[in-house]
Amino acid sequence: MLRAAEEAGFDAILTADQSIRYQQNLTRSRVAFIVLSDNDERRVRDGIDAVRSAISAIAPGMVIWVALPE
């Protein structure tokens, strides 16, 4: 997945997969990851400002964890 995203020119991947750090070698990635604490639509909607902030702050290879509101 990571190599395909890099080859396709993706800058970032938004995911709720908490174990992504164990599934992919992120240390040399050109793609940034934004990892959400949950994938519940209501919680994502309520936390959209935090998601937008994470998107604004990303750089290649970064992993940003976004804790969504309860």
pLDDT at res. 27? 72
Q: Specify the 3-state DSSP secondary structure of 14.
A: strand
Amino acid 51: pLDDT? 97
16, 41 Cβ separation under 8 angstroms = no
Mean pLDDT (10-residue bins), the chain, 70 residues: 88 91 76 94 96 94 92
pLDDT at 64: 94
Domain range summary for the chain, segments of one domain joined by +: 2-66
- Look up the pTM and report it: 0.86
Residue 61, by phi and psi: left (phi above 0), alpha (psi -120 to 50) or beta? left
Binning the chain into helix, strand and coil, the percentages to the nearest 5 are 35, 20, 45
